[in-house]
Structure 1
Amino acid sequence: MVNLESGTARSLAVSGNLKQNLEIEMIKNLINLILTVFISIIVISCNGQVKSKSEQNQNTEIGTIVSGLDNQIWVIFQDSKGNYWFGSNGNGVYKYDGTKIIQFTTKDGLAYDQIRGIQEDKEGNLYIETQNGISKYNGTEFTTLQPIKSSKNEWKLEPNDLWFGYNANDLYRLDGDSLYELELPRKDLKKAFGIETEGVPFEGNNNSPYAVFGVNKDKNGNIWFGTATAGAFRYDGDSFLWFGEKELSTLPDGRVPGVRSMIQDKNGYYWLSNIYSKYKINSDLPKGYEKIEAAELPEKIINDKILYFMSGIADTQGKLWMTTYDDGIWCYNGESLSNIEIHNGTENVLLISIYLDDRGGIWLGTNNDGVYKHNSGKFEKFEP
């Protein structure tokens, strides 16, 4: 005989257990769902924080992307990575990587916005020479170098030294670690030139005859310094050779061209910022050098043109290119001189500097029309 009441009770009990198990399972699933949603929210939030941090890092990169260059570009330089740098006369420095232009100014840590020189050390750091100090750029930030005024006058000549002329009593030498302020040997300038010489009160230079206007290295690694009115000096690491010629100082009409650029031609002669004379080292002579006429000049050229150049280079074929401020470029092929005038419409382009890049390309920095580049036998306005 079957006990219906007992079977019913067991059925109800089983039913109750199933219901309870289902409820427990539903609660577990709900808890798992809540945990999953919570974890997802945390992950998304973390990812958002990482992205924000990345965006913040991008926003802290210095410099401003601009669409073009300033009209007054005084300095042109190509770094070891192939980037071009253009130093302006009041709006900082521009970096061009072939795609975009980035402008750096005092807002980014640059010492001053008037640029007078750009160099690179063996580590790839750039040194921006300004009228208010020298800024080092390591690819991330700018720092201003602090010079050491040493009573020992730390004169040395090492292959990796960098030399600067602006904002110094005479000049600076950077040996990779320290920036030394140096003094050139003093000479009897009145005896050499027949007059009392004075300096030129340009901004960024002292009013001294020995203020350095130009620094160049020759093919043998000797360093040359051109001054305001004290002539030129060559330093070979041991001693100085002084070029105390009248055309390298104050001129009879009172003009002070300064020795701004020193270039060596393929015959070993040095052109010291003018095309009146050229010099060759000769230790057998009393002065230590010989001086001859640079090139035969037609009378019309002598009367109409200023024969002092601001900047000069020797190209890959040995041809000399020398820029004047408003009389164009002088070219010397080893035998004769020619003159190239640079115009923008009816206006003369005022030339400040000339630069030879690592591909043999010739560039011009100007005071009123940006940058020019030599293309197919002529100079054309450079439009990045």
Structure 2
Amino acid sequence: MKYARVYALLLVFAFHISCEQNAKNKPQDNISKGHYSESQLKEAVAFKVPASMVRNVRKDKNGNILIASYLGVFRYDGTSFTNLTSEIISPRFSSFWDVLEDRKGNLWFGTKDSGAYYYNGKSFQHFTTRDGLGSNSALHIYEDKAGNIWFGTIGGVSRYDGKSFRNFTTKDGLPNNDINSIMEDKTGKIWFGTRGDACYYDGKTFTIFKNKDGKPFHNVWSIIEDKKGYIWFGDVDGLWRYDGSTFTNISQRGAYAIMEDKKGNIWTTGEVNPKTWALSRYDQKTVYNKKPVVSEIMSGGRMDFLGILEADDESIWFGTGVGVRRYDGKTITDFKGK
């Protein structure tokens, strides 16, 4: 009996140590420390809307708006918001960065430091470095024409073919392991914007993108291909356009995100000066001029204008440091608290 009691006490002690260790291994509370207070966390949960920083805004095949916010990924169906990630992680520890619906209708969620999640409408699957993901900072997600899912991380690029990951780093030819954007052009090249240079991957090798003077572009935040096949990208020197042979520095305005709307206007979010960011529109009638006409739709503080999307009704959605907004051509609606 005496030994049984000692054994029981040892089990309790081991359980206590295990609980302490698990607590230490929990994702660090990066959100509430230095970003969101307890009251803001409670507000986000109470309002049931994206009330924290929104890095990316996407669209699903039904036209619903998908919003990746630090405190959860939301879907807006035209009437109300639904938190798609409330079952897998608490608002305090979420820190979501990107969202994607693939061609099969499955959803992918990228996080700041918790890897990536896959959701087929019924159940979730969690991918981390243990499963082959190159880094748990899966900040950007992209699906190529072949159906591969690419993850841009702060540790390189990971490509998932549905069975396994293949990881690419500077050892494979990437100019920098910190990835800002991913885009496949009409020829099948995969473009990457990095904290260092821009490059493209042709399936075999990486080629660093350089301007006419032979100089690389630095800290490329966003890259798109427009309807004409021109490449647009934003770096530390502003907004650039590439027609296949010539580079044109369109504007000194920063381009954190770039989008072409149905009418051919080019929209950007980003820095106007060190203290001011803005939502800007480059008019489609002059967009291929050396200096297109640009309209500043709205301006604000630093990091107040992030991911951008055109909805089916042609309204413009954009992420902010405190939620998501919609511009219908006349009015800007802030959904925080609604």
TM range (shorter): 0.5 to 0.7
> In the alignment, which residue of structure 2 is the partner of 1:337?
293
Instruction: Tell me which of 217, 227, 230 is aligned to 1:269.
Output: 230
Distance in 1, Cα, partners of 2:265 & 2:65:
23
In 1, are the aligned partners of 2:315 and 2:329 still within 8 Å (CA)? no
**Aligned residue type for 2:57:** I
> In the alignment, which residue of structure 2 is the partner of 1:366?
320
Instruction: Tell me which of 151, 158, 169 is aligned to 1:183.
Output: 169
Work out which of the two has the higher radius of gyration on C-alpha atoms and give 1 or 2. Answer: 1
In 2, are the aligned partners of 1:104 and 1:110 still within 8 Å (CA)? no
Instruction: Tell me which of 175, 195, 205 is aligned to 1:228.
Output: 195
Shift in alpha-carbon separation, 1:321–1:219, aligned structure 2, 3 A: farther
> In the alignment, which residue of structure 2 is the partner of 1:375?
328
Instruction: Name the SS for the 1:324 alignment partner.
Output: strand
Shift in alpha-carbon separation, 1:227–1:292, aligned structure 2, 3 A: same
In 2, are the aligned partners of 1:149 and 1:182 still within 8 Å (CA)? no
In 2, are the aligned partners of 1:66 and 1:101 still within 8 Å (CA)? no
In 1, are the aligned partners of 2:179 and 2:195 still within 8 Å (CA)? yes
Shift in alpha-carbon separation, 1:279–1:374, aligned structure 2, 3 A: same
> Could you say which structure has the greater relative contact order, defined with CA pairs below 8 angstroms and 6 or more residues apart?
2
Shift in alpha-carbon separation, 1:109–1:123, aligned structure 2, 3 A: farther
> In the alignment, which residue of structure 1 is the partner of 2:107?
126
Q: 2:242 aligned with 1:279, yes or no?
A: yes
CA drift of 1:226 comes to 0.6
> In the alignment, which residue of structure 2 is the partner of 1:294?
249
Deviations, residues 224-243 of structure 1 (Å, cap 9, x unaligned): 101111x1112233443321
**Aligned residue type for 1:160:** G
CA drift of 1:354 comes to 0.7
Instruction: Name the SS for the 1:108 alignment partner.
Output: coil
Deviations, residues 331-384 of structure 1 (Å, cap 9, x unaligned): 22323131314258xx7881011113345432111113x212221345433476
Distance in 1, Cα, partners of 2:115 & 2:66:
18
Q: Within 5 Å, give how 1:310-329 maps onto structure 2.
A: 310-325=256-271, 326-329=276-279
Q: Which has the higher helix share?
A: 1
TM score, norm. by length of structure 1? 0.60
**Aligned residue type for 2:118:** K
TM score, norm. by length of structure 2? 0.67
CA drift of 1:174 comes to 1.8
Instruction: Name the SS for the 2:83 alignment partner.
Output: strand
Shift in alpha-carbon separation, 1:239–1:339, aligned structure 2, 3 A: same
Shift in alpha-carbon separation, 1:349–1:272, aligned structure 2, 3 A: closer
CA drift of 1:328 comes to 0.9
> In the alignment, which residue of structure 1 is the partner of 2:77?
97
Distance in 2, Cα, partners of 1:243 & 1:221:
16
CA drift of 1:294 comes to 3.0
Q: 2:132 aligned with 1:166, yes or no?
A: no
Shift in alpha-carbon separation, 1:166–1:357, aligned structure 2, 3 A: farther
CA drift of 1:270 comes to 1.6
**Aligned residue type for 2:159:** R
Q: 2:51 aligned with 1:70, yes or no?
A: yes
Deviations, residues 172-193 of structure 1 (Å, cap 9, x unaligned): 1122232332235437x7xxxx
Instruction: Tell me which of 310, 333, 336 is aligned to 1:356.
Output: 310
Deviations, residues 84-139 of structure 1 (Å, cap 9, x unaligned): 221112x1222333344232557525895111211122221101011120011121
> In the alignment, which residue of structure 1 is the partner of 2:178?
211
**Aligned residue type for 2:153:** Y
> In the alignment, which residue of structure 1 is the partner of 2:208?
242
Q: Tell me, which stretches of 5 or more residues in structure 2 are unaligned?
A: 1-44, 135-143
**Aligned residue type for 2:81:** I
Q: 2:126 aligned with 1:148, yes or no?
A: no
In 1, are the aligned partners of 2:110 and 2:117 still within 8 Å (CA)? yes
Distance in 2, Cα, partners of 1:106 & 1:248:
39
Q: Which has the higher strand share?
A: 2
Instruction: Name the SS for the 1:124 alignment partner.
Output: coil
Distance in 2, Cα, partners of 1:278 & 1:186:
24
Distance in 2, Cα, partners of 1:292 & 1:102:
43
CA drift of 1:163 comes to 1.2
**Aligned residue type for 1:294:** N
Instruction: Name the SS for the 1:352 alignment partner.
Output: coil
Instruction: Name the SS for the 1:241 alignment partner.
Output: strand
Cα-Cα RMSD: 3.2
